[in-house]
Structures are given as C-alpha cells and as structure tokens.
Amino acid sequence: MESVFQNETIKAILEKYRRIWAIGHAQSVLGWDMEVNMPKEGILERSVAQGELSVLSQEFLLKPEFVELVEKAKGIEGLNEYERGVVRVLDRSIRISKSFPPEFLREMSEVTSQATKAWEEAKRSDDFSKFEPWLDRIIDLAKRAADYLGYEDEPYDALLDLFEEGLTTKEVEKMFDKLEKELKPLLEKIMEEGKVPREHPLEKERYEREQMERVNLWILQKFGFPLGVRSRLDVSAHPFTTEFGIRDVRITTRYEGYDFRRTILSTVHEFGHALYELQQDERFMFSPIAGGVSLGIHESQSRFWENIIGRSREFAGLIYPVLKENLPFMANYTPEDVYLYFNIVRPDFIRTEADVVTYNFHILLRFKLERMMLNEGVKAKDLPELWNEEMERLLGIRPKTYAEGILQDIHWAHGTIGYFPTYSIGTLLASQIYYHMKRDIPDFEEKVARAEFEPIKAWLRERIHRWGSIYPPKELLQKALGEELNPDYFVRWVKERYL
C-alpha cells in the first residue's frame, strides 16, 4: 500500500504526531472501558489517568518544534490533498488548543465536574435551584471561551465552529427558520390526518435482554458489521460509538426491557457512526485525517441508518421474522405494526426519545436558548420559563417538572454549548443523502428489503467515508453531493413518509 504522504515535512509531522495518536488511542480505550467495564470504585484512578493523558496530549500538540513544522507546512506549495488535509486538521487543533490559557482549562474542568454532580442532584430532586448557580458559571465560561476563540459576527459562532467546523449562527438560524415554518404546519397535519399513529401497543411489550441481543446481532450481521474482527457490540448506560483506529471500532447499546424499538434503533444508529470509521481509507492510519470530519457529518451517518433505513417499511419487513422468532408476543402483530410502531409521531418532553418529526423542535429550542445565553445576557434563572414557553409554542406541551424540561440533558453541565445544532444537521443531511443516493440506487427500498446493504455502504464509502477529515465539512458536502446542506430534503422526506 503506497503512502499518500510524500512530502518530507509532512512525514516529519506525522512521525511526531504518532505519539499524539497513541495517547488518543489510549484515551479512547480508557473511556470505552469506563463506560462498559470499569468496576465503580475505579473512577478516581481512571479520572486522574485521563486528566494526565489529556494534558500530555496538549503538550505534544503545542510543542514548539511541532507547531513550527505545521507552520512551515502551511507555506509549502504543491502538497497533495491528503497532505493539505493533515495541515488543515492540525492547524485547526493547534489554533483551538492555543486559544485557551491553562488556568481557563483548569477552571472549566473543575466547574464542569462540580456542575455535573450538581446537575445530577438537581435532576434527581427536580430542583433547578441546585443547578442554577452552576449554569450561570458555565454561561460565563462559554462566553469567555468564545472570546478566547474569537468570532466575526457573534460569540455563539465561536462555539458552533468548535463542534462543526465553519458553521455559523446565521446558517443555523436560517435552517431552523425554514424548518419551523415548514415543519410546524406539517406536524399538525400529521397529527390530524397522518399515516402514522400517536401510540402503539408494542411500546408496552416487555422483553428479556438475551432476546433482543440476538435480534441486534442478527441485524448487525445483515449489515456486515465485522463483529470480533474489527468491532464489538457491548452494553452501556448511554449508547455510543468509539474508534481506536480504523480496525477497532466499537458500539454499545442498552436494553431497557420494554419498547424494543429503542434498542434496535440505537444499535442501528451507532452502526451508522461505526461504519463511517470502519470505511476510512487505511492509508490514513495513525494520521490526523483518519476519522469522521465533524459531529454533523457523523450524525448524518447514524441518522441515515436509523431513520432512512431503520424506520423504513422494508426494514420492518426484513426484521419481522427474527423478531417473531425471539419475541413470543410478536405472534399478535404484523410487519406493518412494526413499521407503524417505529414511526410513531407524538410531541413529548424528552429529546432523546423524540420521534423524527418533533426531534428538530427540541434542538431548535436549545439553539434559541443557547444563543440567548451567549449573546443576550440571559441568566440561568430565566431559562426554565423560556424553555417551557418555547416547548408550548413549538410542540403545544408544557413540562410539569424540571427533569422533563430544562434539566433533561447533561450537555450544559458538561460545559457543552453549541453542540446541539449538529444533531439537527445530521438529521437533515440524512434525508439529503438519501435522495442523492436514490439517483444512483433507484431500487434502494428493494435492496433494504433484501438486506443487500453492500451497494449502500459502498456509496457512503465512496462519497463520504473514504475522505476522512481531508476536507472541512462544507467542502466535503460539495464534493459528495454537489450542494450545501438543504433542509428541503428533510421536509420532503417527512411529507412522503408521514402524510
């Protein structure tokens, strides 16, 4: 396998980068182990180890010799696209790392660690006042972070870019304006006369973990997930995907014991993330251009598998026999029941349990509030009321507790502001990718019905996965689809599926 890296400066950079890569590999394994295996009192030593590794990685990234090499590479003419990708990714990482003074990072780490505990307690006791002072500190930290990072139009831009390279508040605003205008009447229409139900008896059916484990493994095998060869499926409190490189990509799921679509759809969702990492170009191994380019693009892959494939009528038909084989109660239901159950639309309070149509409203709400925190000096104490009003306006329901309202997500306690919009970007992009793929694979639905996933995976690999992080997300989209993110596709998809 010939190396794609020929330039001597780039080679010198990658030689030095290898230990940063190795530390990242270790951090990922430690993180995965913590969620999947770690005995509970291992937390103290694990946290200290993770903290040290994280400082170490920063130190190597910001070592003068390394930074100088990257600076030098920026001036070299005639680098190939892979080499330019290396320079772009590292330059961005260095710029972001350099922005924050060490004291700020320490403060951030201390505040968020305590805020997370306060949030847990506040959520458990449904008492917002326990979290309120911490949220104010986090808003303050987020503002300072934005100032350190710098921005053109407004502070929120700086945070958005952190999670989705090049994304601006204006773009997100435009996207949500359009979505709200189109989707609100659409949601009402779906609720009144749509083809999908607001609830289904399958939501209440109970199962044993082993039953759904067999179903999930069957599905993953149909997808061609290389279990035991390059991947694993494990169990954790919150499903996630992690990669330790290109050849060891692991997903987790969870088994609630009821409402079995949750474990299926979360497994299918994580498979989408994993496939992105598994289908990287192996020549990028150990380099900073291996791996998905952004949260939004990554989420488009998981949502593609979850929403476009996992919630399709053909997929319901495909998995019906294995469901019937493992779940005795399925004898009372048809494949169409499974399809309807997977596509329930019902305004509800919890984002992570939201259906495809209402999901984006949950994100829109968070986007609005985050923007107000950053740009308009809104304080934590005002947020619960703002949250509830917005829920009522968008979905017609009003949380009765903080736990089902403003305290439901952990993100803010972690200091993560500006992340939520990437979820919507992923959701919208998934449908956009679908319509593009349909041009090349007109019998897409038949292929899903017959479990012929290879052409679908190959399409994703060629258009998106194999490019790793070479191009920034917007450029990748242009190359892959010939256009930018366009919410119209999602609206069309909702209409076609739900009306």
Nearer to its own copies, 27 or 312 (CB): 27
Cα(61)–Cα(239) distance, integer angstroms: 30
Q: Report, in Å, the least distance between residue 42 CB and its own copies.
A: 3
- Cα distances (Å, whole numbers) of residue 111 to 27, 104, 271, 415: 21, 10, 34, 8
The sign one gets for the Cα dihedral 173, 435, 427, 357 is: positive
- The region of 20-28, 310-318, 356-364, 411-419 touching its own copies under the rule CB under 8 A is 20-28
C-beta of residue 290 within 8 angstroms of C-beta of residue 469: yes
Nearer to its own copies, 33 or 392 (CB): 33
Angle separating helix axes 421-440 and 454-463, nearest 10 degrees:
120
In the set 243, 270, 306, 314, the catalytic residue is 270
Residues 274-303, interacting with its own copies (CB under 8 A): 285-286
Q: Report, in Å, the least distance between residue 245 CB and its own copies.
A: 3
Residues 45-104, interacting with its own copies (CB under 8 A): 45-46, 48-49, 51-53, 55-56
Q: Report, in Å, the least distance between residue 120 CB and its own copies.
A: 20
Residues in Cβ contact with 499 at an 8 Å cutoff, skipping those fewer than 6 apart: 186, 189, 190, 193, 194, 195
Residues in Cβ contact with 376 at an 8 Å cutoff, skipping those fewer than 6 apart: none
Task: Supply 255's token pair.
Answer: 């088994």
Question: In the set 136, 151, 154, 226, which binds its own copies (CB under 8 A)?
Answer: 226
Q: Is residue 40 involved in binding its own copies (CB under 8 A)?
A: yes
> In this structure, which amino acid lies at residue 295?
L
Q: Is residue 217 involved in binding its own copies (CB under 8 A)?
A: no
Nearer to its own copies, 25 or 368 (CB): 25
Nearer to its own copies, 104 or 286 (CB): 286
| Residue 75 main-chain phi, psi, to 5 deg | -90, -5
Cα(160)–Cα(99) distance, integer angstroms: 15
Q: Report, in Å, the least distance between residue 462 CB and its own copies.
A: 22
Cα(233)–Cα(253) distance, integer angstroms: 7
- Considering CB under 8 A, how many residues would be counted as binding its own copies? 42
Q: Report, in Å, the least distance between residue 90 CB and its own copies.
A: 17
- The region of 2-10, 22-30, 83-91, 213-221 touching its own copies under the rule CB under 8 A is 22-30
> Is 154 noted as a catalytic residue in this protein?
no
Q: Report, in Å, the least distance between residue 43 CB and its own copies.
A: 8
- 232, β-bridge pairs: 250
Q: Report, in Å, the least distance between residue 246 CB and its own copies.
A: 7
Question: In the set 33, 121, 483, 496, which binds its own copies (CB under 8 A)?
Answer: 33
C-beta of residue 368 within 8 angstroms of C-beta of residue 175: no
From residue 229 to residue 258, the character string flagging contacts with its own copies as x (rule: CB under 8 A) and all else as - is: xxxx-----------xxxxx-x--------
Q: What is the residue whose two structure tokens read 């403003």?
A: 406
C-beta of residue 131 within 8 angstroms of C-beta of residue 413: yes
Nearer to its own copies, 44 or 331 (CB): 44
Q: Is residue 25 involved in binding its own copies (CB under 8 A)?
A: yes
Q: Report, in Å, the least distance between residue 194 CB and its own copies.
A: 43
Q: Is residue 37 involved in binding its own copies (CB under 8 A)?
A: yes
Residues in Cβ contact with 289 at an 8 Å cutoff, skipping those fewer than 6 apart: 82, 85, 86, 89, 468, 469, 470
Question: In the set 1, 2, 44, 482, which binds its own copies (CB under 8 A)?
Answer: 44
Furthest-apart CA pair in the chain: how many Å? 68
- The region of 2-10, 224-232, 256-264, 333-341 touching its own copies under the rule CB under 8 A is 224-232
Question: Concatenated DSSP letters for 154-223?
Answer: -HHHHHHHHHSTT--HHHHHHHHHHHHHHHHHHHHHHHHH-SS-S--GGGG-B--HHHHHHHHHHHHHHH
- Cα distances (Å, whole numbers) of residue 396 to 187, 289, 392, 490: 11, 44, 4, 22
Q: Is 200 annotated as a binding residue?
A: no
Burial class (CB in 10 A: 0-12, 13-18, 19+), 434: buried
- The region of 18-26, 316-324, 400-408, 454-462 touching its own copies under the rule CB under 8 A is 18-26
Nearer to its own copies, 19 or 438 (CB): 19
Q: Is residue 125 involved in binding its own copies (CB under 8 A)?
A: no
- Among 415, 403, 405, smallest CA distance to 370 is for 415
Nearer to its own copies, 51 or 185 (CB): 51
Q: Is 273 annotated as a binding residue?
A: yes
- The region of 13-21, 113-121, 215-223, 363-371 touching its own copies under the rule CB under 8 A is 13-21
C-beta of residue 302 within 8 angstroms of C-beta of residue 269: yes
- The region of 85-93, 220-228, 381-389, 446-454 touching its own copies under the rule CB under 8 A is 220-228
Give the HSE-up count for residue 270: Cα atoms under 13 Å, Cβ half-sphere.
26
- Numbered residues of the known binding site for Zn(2+): 269, 273, 299
For binding to its own copies (CB under 8 A), which residues are involved? 18-19, 21-23, 25-27, 29-30, 33, 37-42, 44-46, 48-49, 51-53, 55-56, 226-232, 244-248, 250, 285-286
Catalytic positions: 270
